[in-house]
Structure formats: structure tokens, C-alpha cells
Amino acid sequence: MAKVVVLGAGIAGHTAAAFLRKKLSKKHEVVVVTPNTYYQWVPSNIWVGVGRMTIDQVRFKLAPLYKRWGIDFRQAKAVSIHPEGDAGSSQAFVSIEYTTDDKRGQTDKINYDFLVNATGPKLNFDATEGLGPGKNTVSVCSYDHAAHAWEKLQDSIAKMEKGQKQRFVIGTGHPMATCQGAAFEYILNVAFEIRKRKLEHLAEITWLTNEYELGDFGMGGAYIKRGGYITSTRVFAESFLGENGIKWIKRAGVKKVEPGLIHYETLDGEEKQIEFDFSMLIPGFAGAGMKAFDKTGADITSTLFAPNGFMKVDADYTARPFEEWRASDWPETYQSQAYKNIYAPGIAFAPPHPISKPMKSKNGTAIFPSPPRTGMPSGVMGKIVAENIINEIKTGKQEFKHKASMAKMGAACIVSAGYGMRRGAAATMTVHPIVSDWEKYPEYGRSIKYTMGEAGLAGHWMKWFMHYMFLHKAKGYPFWWLLPE
């Protein structure tokens, strides 16, 4: 009998747990550890943030589903990994701390034969002084943050309805923040809601980003086929912002946020400020902060994890100039280099290098996006990790029949530009591969055949449909396993 422990129930963790439980017999155990009560479909949080969906439309409780599936659900936070056991036993285990009201603060140990670290990111608001909910800006990184953002947005809309001008600043809140795509969708939806109310003459909206050029999105930008022509995502992004009357500031690293005032540094080394009445800025991401110890109790955190807290996997982390990195340096199986029964799919793994070219200001501040690993790639990684573990349990062989390198994987994204069944809009975009491969595709870094984008009402309908399709899959409704990741 094998015991598989999955840490985290986001897109990667929940997908892995679902396939593990479906394809392993009941004599094998599947345990999910997450501090959260709910699963949330994160891509739709931007609609919660503009009042177009409620939080209950983007989430559901995990406990009833996992009980139905036969998964041992522990609502707890993983604190430390002990891959060699301890002085009392050689059985590997994870130390957890419960987060439910009845057990809050109580600790426990869960033994495992296989461990899937899918904890995702820590929303590192503290890395930027004054950033985040409860401080001076809002967020759409979780459903509760998004609901709070909608409350604050309504305050600004009410002031505009009384004739008072409002300044909106939306973008990235750390010099190396990722998830530009979510912020980009949010600013377009905020502009849509303002325009729908005929209040645009009272709104000054600014996109504030650490991207060198707009449309970088943490993947170095791309060339896409659009309407029969080849264009850059820079032109794609600039046209969207321009059409919505949105100004932009690029190559900016936010250093501090005070009430109504954002301090940022430019790549030129200038220290600047921008005033705001409403601001949603994406924080930097870090690893979940777990520790690791060997059998003697010695700290081996640096063996399992990179300095940013993300887990080191089957990637080439050799330090070398950005121009010398190759697509083959990216991981394929997400297996830990130190312990062969530990995996880290999704945001939990440490990228071997940036996809966007690293940039530093004249003052030495790194200002460029970190690599994105959310959404579709996370689901694919979670599935292939589960498939490889399942195969090993059934055959006793570690064969890795399933691989999913971001340098070979394509991704599809739908960028919402406003919610409405008749007047909504979205841009559908595909890239292949996610990580540029200049050796295979020397002209554009990606296959122009499969890298394309189109905008319109049909894109909104597709995103709306996919919201319900992926929740259908996540809830384990009939034939969920036939739907793509």
C-alpha cells in the first residue's frame, strides 16, 4: 500500500489529487493538506473584483468533495518536510499545523511514500512597504481580496457619480512581480465598468508595470498571428490600453506605497511617485516558507528549496548569463533533485532562470517580471506528476512516461476586457511554447503557427463558458477527466 500526500489544493494540487484518487485503488491512500476551506477558480477573481460575480460563484468547499472521492482531507498548513524521518523512525513525514477553529494551532505528523508539494505562492505583500489589503492597496489574488477590491471600487464609482474625479493605478506592486496578465485583465474590466456608467471623463486610469515593454507578461513578450498579420504582444497590449483611454508607465519597480501615493523606481534610476485614489497592485511571490530537516534534525531547507522558497526540481540551475540559457534547462517531471519521491508542480517549483530578460536600474535594483506558472501550465504539471506517481506505484518502476516542460508546452489564455453577454469583450491568445526556444524557432522564439491572438465578444463568451467548464471539472462532475487541463 502506498500513501501519497499532496500539499495544496490549488490548480496543480487539486488536479494531482483528483487523478491520483481516480486511478489508484482504494488500498492506496491519498491525503490533501491545505490551510483553505475552499477551492477557488482564480482566473475569475477579476470578475469578483468588479462585481460581476460573487465569491460563491468562484469557489466551493473541499471537504464534501474529498469525502465523496475518498481523499483524507486535512485543513492545515504544512510546516516542515522530513524526507528521512527522524530519530524515532526512518519513515518520511510532513509536520502540519491545523487551521480550523476547533484544532487551530494543534500540530501533527503525516507519513508519506510520495509527496507532492503544490503549495503555490506566498503572496509576499510584505516585500513592498505599505502594499496590500489592510494597508494602502487592494488585490484580486484571492476571492476575499477581490470582494474587498469591489467594495473599494464602488466607493470610487460613487464619488465619480457625484462629480469627483478619481485616479486609478493598477499593475505590479514589486520590481520583480509576476502575474501581469491578471492585473491587465483587471484594469481593462475596471475601465469597462467606468465606461458602462458613462463616467470615463472623471477617471484617470494608469497601468503601472515592471515590464520593459508592454505585453511582456513575464514571458519575454511574443509575436502573434492576428487577423492574418504577425504582430507583437507589445502592440497588442498598447492597442488595448489605448482603446480604453488608459495611460501607462513601464519599466517601473514599486518600492513603497503610502496612502494615496506610490513610490517607484525606473530603470533609468529615477525615483518617482504617482498619486491614486484606488490602486490594485499584484504583490511579489515567494515560496510557502516550509522548512526541511534530515534524520538528525539538521536543517536541509537550502537542499530542497531555492533562496526564494520555491522547490528545486529537475532543472538546470547552473548560473550563467541570460543569453546562454536554453529551453532544455527547464524541468520536465518536477521531481526533487535531492529526494526522488518528492515533486513540486505549478508555482511551487523554482524556475531555472527568467523568461524575460533580467534588467537592473542604474541603482542596481532588479526590475523585470518573474516567470508565470499559473493556470493551464499548473494543471498540466499536476496531472503528469500524478500520472508518473501512479505508474510507479503500479509497476514499481520510476519510468517518467509523462513529461511537461514549459519549453515544449503550449498555453491558451483569454484576456477579459469587460463582462457582458452582448457588450463584453476578451482577447484569446495562444503561445507555443511558453518558454521561448530560439534554437528550434530562431525567427520568433516560438511557433508562429500556434502563437496567435484575436479579440472580440466571442472571446468573452469563451472565457465565460470556460469558467463553468473548469469548475465542472474541479467539482468532479460526470466525465470531469475528459476535460482538458
Question: What CATH code would you report for 3-122+287-395?
Answer: 3.50.50.100
CB 12 within 8 A of CB 379: yes
CB 192 within 8 A of CB 185: no
pLDDT averaged over every residue in the chain = 95
Q: What is the pTM of this model?
A: 0.96
**Cell, residue 64:** 464534501
Q: Other CB atoms closer than 10 Å to residue 289's CB: what's the count?
A: 14
Judging by DSSP bridges, how do beta strands 38-40 and 247-249 pair with one another? unpaired
- Give the contacts of 323 (CB within 8 A, at least 6 positions apart): none
Q: What is the mean pLDDT of residues 43-54?
A: 97
CA–CA dist 471, 485 (Å, integer):
11
- pLDDT band per the 50, 70, 90 thresholds, residue 430: confident
304-344 confidence digits (pLDDT tens):
999 999 999 999 999 999 999 999 999 999 999 999 999 99
Bridge partners (DSSP) of residue 470 are none
pLDDT value for 284:
96
- The DSSP letter of residue 310 is P
Can you give the residue ranges of every domain in the chain? 3-122+287-395
CA–CA dist 463, 42 (Å, integer):
13
pLDDT value for 226:
76
Q: What is the mean pLDDT of residues 61-75?
A: 98
Considering only residues 92 and 225, tell me which one the structure prediction assigns the higher pLDDT. Answer: 92
365-423 confidence digits (pLDDT tens):
999 999 988 888 999 999 999 999 999 999 999 999 999 999 999 888 888 999 988 88
pLDDT value for 295:
96
pLDDT value for 105:
85
Percent of the chain with pLDDT over 70: 100
Does 228 have pLDDT greater than 80? no
